[in-house]
Chain A
């Protein structure tokens, strides 16, 4: 469904002899919700940062929304992307209202000569994360989880064609986490937005996403919904020390001969 939003071919990052990312190829279309899983240090955040235009790859090619990502096109292309980076949630210092934080996500926010402060759009984005009643509150006085949801609203307020999330559930409890994944699923289905999300825990996301890419330096497997991930892929990613634990059916990644099992890493 939809046109290609992210198309990566033969991407490499790091020295050719010891690359951090190697030979990554992906094609993700509008409306698709993709999870990226992998062990610590697998290059998940690096890949997300490269797609977000923050890091230059050392080889390969990236097309965003059908246009080549270069130094010159990036400012324009990035306006159609929402990005929620990995949380280093120190106490925020700047006095801001919640609605002001969300307003920063508007594409024209930094250009005061353009009218960009659309109050209705800001409240809509806050409503998506159930924080509309707190629009006038002081951002510094919210809880860590609430702040994370405000940041998500900030990424969504520009109605992005592509949403990139780097471990968005880190500050959230399991109920909010589930609500977040459901929201992303709904946005992908209803608006044709494409979402790419890095997560540690495949179990938490597998029933929401359309596909899971197993990343450790390279993409070992890109499993679509209903497909299984072979044991040797798990071993290549995490080493020999993986446990297999019981899990419900219908998730991505479980073996066909024992669809009541789920691979779990420690």
Chain B
């Protein structure tokens, strides 16, 4: 075991991807608390799948992948935040429609483009090991933006999740804050796509907070626990990925699922442990 870890740490591919992976872990853990509090897990599924259309557009127009996908995801997330109100469509139906439609568009665009440029398997299931220097810069930029916004607005979002009417009556700009949250979920999804791929992104944005929910009793505790679970799960996943040559994203999501099941079992067996 120790041998494996030292071997893991001396592997240049792994150490190069360790910092971005840890950063993604911290950012997704932070956002996942809000995703959980605002019941946005289906939104993360919808936006991550919709980002395939953004990638498809970028591929067929030969534009840089990440910036275009980022813009597209944020636009989709904001559209989902606004659509239900305007048209009287329930939010989950709206998400379902956009999710299927843009995924279909993405598949058509990518399949008609020159396929040599795109690693479709990498997009769908993620591969943190192939992160380029440009992508790293983009990740650092987005991460610091998201973390800064979290620090500033997390209490307001928390207050809205607890009781939106009272939050509005106490003078918070509830609608603007909600739009901001949806937009940031869009951004975070793009970060995750690099690590976990389109299909597994929701795992990174739901599981850390779901684990923390079992133990935490306040916003601060949830945030700390969620980050701890996320960083732990990512490390375990990357080591598995290295040891058994499993895909990195799937390994991380599996590790997080394992942590959740263990947490849940421990809590169920010892319910008085508080």
Contacts and interface: CB of A to CB of B under 8 A. Distances in A.
Interface of A: 52-54, 74-79, 81, 83-85, 92-97, 100-101, 104-105, 107, 109-113, 138, 151, 154-155, 158, 164
A85 B166 contact: yes
Interface residues of B, number: 28
Contacts of B167: 104
A74 B171 contact: yes
Contacts of A53: 169
Interface string B201-218: 000000000000100111
Given A94-B158, A95-B217, 19 more contacts: A74-B171, A75-B173, A78-B170, A81-B169, A83-B166, A85-B169, A93-B37, A94-B37, A95-B216, A95-B218, A96-B217, A97-B217, A104-B159, A104-B167, A110-B153, A110-B156, A110-B172, A112-B154, A151-B166
A153 to B, nearest CB: 13
B222 interface: yes
Contacts of B37: 93-94
Interface centre among B151, B167, B170, B171 (most CB of A within 10 A): B170
Contacts of B159: 104, 109-110
A79 B222 contact: no
A112 B171 CA distance: 16
B168 to A, nearest CB: 6
A75 B171 contact: yes
Interface in B218-233: 218-219, 221-222
B100 interface: no
Contacts of A94: 37, 158, 161-162
Contact of B218 (A76, A96, A151): A96
Interface string B32-70: 000001000000000000000000000000000000000
Contact of A154 (B166, B213, B221): B166
Nearest to A160: B170
Contact of B171 (A79, A93, A95, A101): A79
What 9 A-B pairs have minimum CB-CB distances, sorted nearest first?
A: A78-B171, A110-B156, A83-B169, A75-B171, A52-B169, A85-B165, A95-B217, A110-B155, A104-B159
Interface centre among B159, B161, B167 (most CB of A within 10 A): B159
Contacts of B171: 74-79, 107
Interface string B124-168: 000000000000000000000000000111111011011101111
B170 A83 contact: yes
A104 B165 CA distance: 13
A76 to B, nearest CB: 7
A94 B155 CA distance: 13
Contact of B162 (A75, A84, A96): A96
Interface of chain A, main secondary structure: loop
A138 B155 CA distance: 18
Contacts of B152: 112-113
Nearest to B274: A138
15 contacts: A54-B168, A76-B171, A78-B171, A83-B166, A84-B166, A85-B165, A95-B221, A104-B166, A107-B171, A109-B155, A110-B153, A110-B172, A111-B155, A112-B151, A112-B155
Contacts of A83: 166, 169-170
A220 B161 CA distance: 39
A93 B209 CA distance: 13
Interface centre among B37, B169, B216, B221 (most CB of A within 10 A): B169
Nearest to B153: A110
A75 B174 CA distance: 11
Contacts of B162: 92, 94, 96, 101, 104
A240 B229 CA distance: 65
B26 to A, nearest CB: 18
A79 B170 CA distance: 6
B217 A105 contact: no
Contact of A100 (B151, B168, B219): B219
A154 to B, nearest CB: 7
Contacts of A97: 217-218
A100 B159 CA distance: 10
Nearest to A83: B169
Contacts of A96: 162, 217-219
B170 A105 contact: yes
Nearest to A117: B155
A94 to B, nearest CB: 5
B108 to A, nearest CB: 40
A112 B219 CA distance: 13
Nearest to A105: B170
Nearest to A109: B155
Contacts of B218: 95-97, 100
A109 B160 CA distance: 12
A110 B166 CA distance: 13
Given A104-B159, A138-B217, A54 B222 contact: no
B135 to A, nearest CB: 31
